[in-house]
Amino acid sequence: MSMPETAPKTVVGEPLLLIREFSRLSRLSQKALRLYDALGLLEPSLIDPSNGYRYYRSDQLQRASRISVLRQLEMPLQRIAEVLELEGTAAAAAVAVYWHEIETQHHEKRGLVQYLIQVFEDKELPMFEILTRQVPAQKIASINGRVFQPQIASFIGQSMNQLYSSLGQAGVTPVGAPFVAYYGKVDADSDGPLEVCVAFTGSLEPSENIVIRIEPAHQEAYVVCPKGLVKSLPDLLHAYDAVAKWLHDNNKHNHLPCREVYFGDWDNIGDQDPAFDIAYPYTDQA
Amino acid sequence: MSMPETAPKTVVGEPLLLIREFSRLSRLSQKALRLYDALGLLEPSLIDPSNGYRYYRSDQLQRASRISVLRQLEMPLQRIAEVLELEGTAAAAAVAVYWHEIETQHHEKRGLVQYLIQVFEDKELPMFEILTRQVPAQKIASINGRVFQPQIASFIGQSMNQLYSSLGQAGVTPVGAPFVAYYGKVDADSDGPLEVCVAFTGSLEPSENIVIRIEPAHQEAYVVCPKGLVKSLPDLLHAYDAVAKWLHDNNKHNHLPCREVYFGDWDNIGDQDPAFDIAYPYTDQA
DNA sequence: TTGCTCCTCACGTCACGTGAGGTGGC
DNA sequence: TTGCTCCTCACGTCACGTGAGGTGGC
């Protein structure tokens, strides 16, 4: 006594939901549901082999709801899949980690907004004193990296530690202050590249990730910044702008990546103490 | 005495920048620059007609920088173009408006995160008392709309005003409390649809945006909510979940859009006072 | 038998990234 | 002449939206 083919599909007495109904109840679009099926993120509990109809159980609504909320947080589908692999508390923790990243980025953006609004309003800015200096050709040891904004501080710290310990092991003397050269934007979406550099005298072999190269002699314009400036993104950007403006006003041309020179004893000084330079190498216009 | 063809392009003595150099200085990718050119957002000041080479002036770096920052704020290119059409203060205001939208969405998301984490941790929730009632078939006047989350409150308010004034002008008596039926998700990316409804007796002609229809008789399960609940998105979502869970536990099936019934005198009550119901119409499982 | 619902392509959107394949300038 | 830089397609990415064209179930 087989069921007639036209009977509505059921599991243990509970009727299965067609995609339209499941879409309505979950508030996920049919297109989204088909995509989640294809990706294995939310598969119908039954697919009719003869016509491909998708049938969902109503208890799948819980997973659907969680996916929906995570998507509202703009979490990528791949990451959602990972979160939903986890148990209760671990899943909650994974969400918290994700959200912390988002909060960090949001904070950054607030600084950018402040900066932008000041730029558009053409605010009088605290005068920056622009200095220039001649930098001789130097042999440097450097570590190149591509990192996004949240990791930048730890990347710089670790790289400097590695550079100094390599120099130390080789019995080689560092010269002057370490600096970081920026070859590209570093933010939540762009990962540089950037280069953490220490000049030295003597001879050192390059290692797996340490490059030895000559930084050519050049002029550079710079501003001396207090340690606390790194805490204020808008002010930091204004300082960059001030140096760039000086180059433009004085008909100079930036030809090497701009850099931050960390001359201060970072851990033992206050926010008001001078700690680093923002420097733009330049040539006179060709 | 024309210049030889191979001379570097210049304007009034200042050399023009090729795309690679402009890309380096602006920290915008070449691909992005070509796109902005195609869209008219940032056009090179000169394009060599013979080979299509793009040449930029260095003073275009300011516009490039602003575009870059606005993109870091995830502003769409179209909107960036609109902002850059504006003058200083107006542009600053446009950025502030945009940012306010982002802040609003961010706030919403914080509520979602709280809710989600509680869901994953399977927190004991304040018990909601689920009630049921029989709702008779009613004639209703309604306004359908598609709005995103930020506009939802004003849309509901305006629609209710319009409905009540139309009823008033027609000398028709409203019956019971107005309600809002949700046919789809309403958030920053999804715009419902939703329907603002008032039941009435008598006869009323439909107008441009007012639909007259019969809401069928049904059972519904509901929770009574204090006014202040709307301020706490996580608690609001838990309340929805509580009703949905009741339906599931009692083997009921939601067949009509869920709704919020606004019976309270909204402007003259406190946050603790009961103000609205969250209701799910249901049938017994077929 | 008529609609309504479901299905699977296929193409569009947004802001690019990433080659492929070809020309041009020093 | 050799590379290096520039160019224009064209396709990929991400998470869908929006038809087109066709089948199936009540």
pLDDT, tens only, B90-126: 999 999 999 999 999 999 999 999 999 999 998 877 7
pLDDT range class, residue A125, cuts 50, 70, 90: confident
pLDDT range class, residue A195, cuts 50, 70, 90: very high
The beta-carbon neighbor of A116 closest among B95, B119, B184 is B95
Query: Which residues in chain A have their CB less than 8 angstroms from residue B286's CB?
Result: 15
Q: How far apart are CA B32 and CA B39, in angstroms?
A: 10
Nearest chain B Cα to A114, which residue?
Answer: B96
Mean pLDDT on B129-153? 92
Q: How far apart are CA A66 and CA A26, in angstroms?
A: 10
The beta-carbon neighbor of B72 closest among A96, A109, A285 is A109
Asked whether the beta carbons of residue A121 and residue B95 sit closer than 8 angstroms, the reply is no
Task: Choose the mutation target among B102, B113, B243 for the interface with A, i.e. most A CBs under 10 Å.
Answer: B113
Residue A93 contacts residue B118 (beta carbons within 8 Å): no
Q: What's the mean per-residue pLDDT of chain B? A: 92
Q: Is the pLDDT of residue A286 over 70?
A: no
Place of tokens 């109503």: A58
Distance from CA of B120 to the nearest CA of A (A): 5
Q: What's the mean per-residue pLDDT of chain A? A: 92
Mean pLDDT on A59-84? 97
Mean pLDDT on A120-137? 90
Query: Near strand C (CB < 7 A), which residues?
Result: A 18-21, 30, 34, 51-54; B 5-8, 29, 31-32, 35, 48, 50-51, 71, 76-78
Strand partners, B280: B221
Distance from CA of A243 to the nearest CA of B (A): 13
Place of tokens 């536990």: B249
Q: Is the pLDDT of residue B3 over 50?
A: no
Strand partners, B141: B198, B212
Helix (H) or strand (E) holding B252: strand B252-254
Give Dmax (Cα) for chain A. Answer: 95
Length of chain B: 286
Length of chain A: 286
Query: Which of the nucleotides in strand C have any atom less than 7 Å away from a protein CB atom?
Result: 5-8, 14-18, 23-26
pLDDT range class, residue A192, cuts 50, 70, 90: confident
Helix (H) or strand (E) holding B271: none
Q: How far apart are CA A107 and CA A129, in angstroms?
A: 28
Q: How far apart are CA A243 and CA A107, in angstroms?
A: 25
Q: How far is the CA of A39 from the C1' of D19 (A)?
A: 23
Q: Is the pLDDT of residue A201 over 60?
A: yes
Neighbouring C-beta atoms of residue A260, cutoff 10 Å: 22
pLDDT range class, residue B238, cuts 50, 70, 90: very high
- Confidence (pTM): 0.91
Residue by residue, what is the 3-state secondary structure of chain A? CCCCCCCCCEECCEECEEHHHHHHHHCCCHHHHHHHHHHCCCCCCEECCCCCCEEECHHHHHHHHHHHHHHHCCCCHHHHHHHHHCCHHHHHHHHHHHHHHHHHHHHHHHHHHHHHHHHHCCCCCCCCCCEEEEECCEEEEEEEECCCHHHHHHHHHHHHHHHHHHHHHCCCEEEEEEEEEECCCECCCCECCEEEEEEEECCCCCCCCEEEEEECCEEEEEEEEEHHHHHCHHHHHHHHHHHHHHHHHCCEEECCCEEEEECCCHHHCCCCCEEEEEEEEEEECC
pLDDT of residue A5: 43
pLDDT tens sequence across B56-72: 999 999 999 999 999 99
Measured CA to C1', the nucleotide nearest B28 is: C16
Mean pLDDT on B268-285? 94
pLDDT of residue B5: 43
pLDDT of residue B87: 84
pLDDT of residue A165: 94
pLDDT tens sequence across B9-23: 666 667 899 999 999
Q: Is the pLDDT of residue B34 over 50?
A: yes
pLDDT of residue B2: 39
Q: How far apart are CA B194 and CA B212, in angstroms?
A: 15
Distance from CA of B110 to the nearest CA of A (A): 8
Q: Which of B285, B256, B236 lies closest to B111 in space, CA to CA?
A: B236
**Structure-token pair, residue B144:** 């359908």
Q: How far apart are CA B118 and CA A40, in angstroms?
A: 25
pLDDT of residue A208: 87
Q: How far apart are CA A263 and CA A261, in angstroms?
A: 6
Residue B276 contacts residue B258 (beta carbons within 8 Å): no
Asked whether the beta carbons of residue B25 and residue A119 sit closer than 8 angstroms, the reply is no
